[in-house]
Structure 1
Amino acid sequence: MRYRLKPKRALGSELRSLYRSLNENLALALLMACREPERGVHLARRGCKELRALIRLLGGGAANQRFYRSLAAGLSAERDTAVMPATWQMLQANMPLLQSKAFHPVGHWLAELAETPAALDGRDAMFLGLAQEAEARCHREPEFEIPEGIAALELRVAWVYRRARRAQLMARKTGVADDFHRFRRRSKDLYYSLRFLKPLMSAPGRRLVGQLKALTELQGLANDVAVLDEYLAANADRLKLTQVSWNRLRRALIMGEQQLQAEVYERAGPILAAGPAQFVRTLKLSG
């Protein structure tokens, strides 16, 4: 279980305990992946994102994140394969066009792909080795300076918020997929950062955590549609669709992604409207 920060205690010590507990959870998730690959991989990828968000919040650089970034990237293919059938079903439920018999081969192929066992040779040994590395990090001091007071921590929160706010403005301005992806990552950093600090917040701050959770989940759906679109395009020859059906499918996927992105921007506007200083004041962090 993730360590919960306790008000009135030494902030630096509390943040170190949180860092250790996240590494412990990551090690347990990797061990779980040996028995329950889908759930274990999901929890391990989330653990990597949480740790990278915490390291950014506390002022660590890219070098401090290298292990977690590499680990998450190595697990992404398994996660995408498991999620794509659910993404397709979500699109079908919201787009009657995709319920046509012409698109049944897509659903069948994705389901078969998810049910195909991954290569097992050496995988358990890999998960075990990574779990041991994560567990070893529980016993090391973080290789970056930990904020020791609320004022220093507030400066770090303002920095995380500013990055998310700028990424939103850039993504809305350009409409470029990479910019939306950056906005999604930085929103998740902000969400995890505030969730860590929730015990130190006022009621308005705690409500923001819930709003950010809903926002990042919606961003995740938009990303899942983009991943599905890219994957189907790379494997178009296996689907055996007519050119007419293929064109209709691509238009539907693009429309689905655009609709989700529009909803993301609508929700993000009020959350990211304030300047960094005002946003931090809203949280009313207390040590």
Structure 2
Amino acid sequence: MAYRFVADSTVEANVQRVFSEQLGKAVEQLSENFQKQPEQAVHNARKCLKKSRSLLRLVRKSIDKSIYQQESQRLRDVGRSLAPARDSAVYPATLSTLLDTYGLTLDVNSFSTLKTGLVDLYNVQLDNLSDREQFIAAVMTDLEASQTNLSQVALKQTGWKAVAKNLRHIYSQGQQNFDQAYNDGDDDDFHNWRKRVKDLWYCTCLLQSLWPPIMKAFESELHELADLLGDDHDIAALRQFLTHHAKEVGVKDVHMQVLVPLMGHRQTKLHRRAKTLGQKLYGETPKAFSDRMASYWHA
């Protein structure tokens, strides 16, 4: 089924079903698809993990504290263990997109050599995962344990009360991170905001049945904002990698002389677009947002 709550089920039943589906899909990607399409399998598995973690945050105050802490930590650790392969896949793609945006080709200043180095790094990371059958087996064991636990998790509250405080907190966190990002302009601050935007986006997907036309529009705008901040994060991650691992991929001074200004300019444009969307999506107080969602729930 789709990643959303259905109106004819209880909140608890919806939560259990979504956890079971998402974690089951993650296991399937790593057990059945990894050998054939490793990059896509890792990407899909991590996406399922992120959806599961967002749902976990949505019911955080409605489940046993020890279960939340245990499963949050386990899913975070699994996601981090898969991150190097995914990150290394993003580096060459981000380089190509950046150069295309400014009308440059890989032939200029030997950027083709740099991209080859980044692609080689990605292949090494994939080989490392592919050769570590015990590692993948351990990851799947963790995912299956989480699936078993969360597919039968009990909620302390029912109906709107099961998600109300958590949804309000997720919105409030995003609002705070939005302000922090534009006050300081630090890459980490924008990345933190992105994570909370994705939480709110996934929660909006789950709650789409509250009022489909309104929630779909809100979801679409949040998706666009998450994509803008994702592009920003990819650039920041590439810059950090090239700065600290230059020898690994053959970075030359001329590469950084060209790329660093382009990266800064591109991020500035992305930040402007993200700010416009952020002002619209986070324009309410957390209480007003929560009250509006409650009115949809009880209509």
TM-score under structure 1 length normalisation: 0.89
User: What amino acid does structure 2 have at the position aligned with 1:273?
Assistant: G
The secondary structure found in structure 1 opposite 2:127 is coil
The Cα shift of 1:206 comes to: 2.3
Answer with 15-24 or 3-12: which moved more: 3-12
- The partner residue of 1:108 within 98, 112, 116 is 116
The Cα shift of 1:227 comes to: 0.8
User: Using a 3 Å threshold, how does the CA distance of structure 1 residues 281 and 81 change in structure 2: closer, same or farther?
Assistant: same
The Cα shift of 1:272 comes to: 0.8
State the match for 1:139 in structure 2: 148
Q: Matched residues in 2 for 1:176 and 1:12: separation?
A: 39
Aligned residues: 286
In the alignment, is the contact (CA less than 8 A) between 1:202 and 1:285 conserved in 2? no
> What does 1:165-244 correspond to in 2, within 5 Å?
165-237=175-247, 238-239=249-250, 241=252, 243-244=253-254
Q: Matched residues in 2 for 1:250 and 1:164: separation?
A: 28
- Describe the superposition over 1:224-267 as per-residue Cα deviations: whole angstroms up to 9, x where unpaired: 111111111123345352x4553232222222223222221122
In the alignment, is the contact (CA less than 8 A) between 1:188 and 1:216 conserved in 2? yes
1:25 matches 2:25: yes
In the alignment, is the contact (CA less than 8 A) between 1:12 and 1:146 conserved in 2? no
Q: CA RMSD in A?
A: 2.4
Percent identity over paired residues: 22
Q: Matched residues in 1 for 2:269 and 2:21: separation?
A: 38
Q: Matched residues in 2 for 1:84 and 1:250: separation?
A: 14
User: What amino acid does structure 1 have at the position aligned with 2:121?
Assistant: L
Q: Matched residues in 2 for 1:90 and 1:257: separation?
A: 13
User: What amino acid does structure 1 have at the position aligned with 2:78?
Assistant: L
User: Using a 3 Å threshold, how does the CA distance of structure 1 residues 100 and 257 change in structure 2: closer, same or farther?
Assistant: farther
The Cα shift of 1:119 comes to: 2.4
- Describe the superposition over 1:30-78 as per-residue Cα deviations: whole angstroms up to 9, x where unpaired: 2122432111110111111111111111016443301110011111110
- Describe the superposition over 1:156-198 as per-residue Cα deviations: whole angstroms up to 9, x where unpaired: 2111111111110111111122211111111111111111121
Answer with 79-88 or 247-256: which moved more: 247-256
> What does 1:34-183 correspond to in 2, within 5 Å?
34-59=35-60, 61-96=68-103, 101-104=108-111, 105-116=113-124, 118-119=127-128, 122-141=131-150, 145=155, 147-183=157-193
TM-score under structure 2 length normalisation: 0.85
Q: Matched residues in 2 for 1:205 and 1:120: separation?
A: 39
In the alignment, is the contact (CA less than 8 A) between 1:34 and 1:127 conserved in 2? no
In the alignment, is the contact (CA less than 8 A) between 2:129 and 2:136 conserved in 1? no
Structure 2: unaligned runs, 5 residues or longer: 62-67
Q: Matched residues in 2 for 1:86 and 1:73: separation?
A: 20
User: Using a 3 Å threshold, how does the CA distance of structure 1 residues 119 and 49 change in structure 2: closer, same or farther?
Assistant: same
The secondary structure found in structure 2 opposite 1:285 is helix
User: What amino acid does structure 2 have at the position aligned with 1:7?
Assistant: A
Answer with 89-98 or 72-81: which moved more: 89-98
In the alignment, is the contact (CA less than 8 A) between 1:22 and 1:51 conserved in 2? yes
Q: Matched residues in 2 for 1:114 and 1:133: separation?
A: 25
Q: Matched residues in 1 for 2:44 and 2:129: separation?
A: 19
Structure 1: unaligned runs, 5 residues or longer: none
Q: Matched residues in 2 for 1:260 and 1:9: separation?
A: 40
User: Using a 3 Å threshold, how does the CA distance of structure 1 residues 124 and 201 change in structure 2: closer, same or farther?
Assistant: farther
The secondary structure found in structure 2 opposite 1:9 is coil
Answer with 170-179 or 28-37: which moved more: 28-37
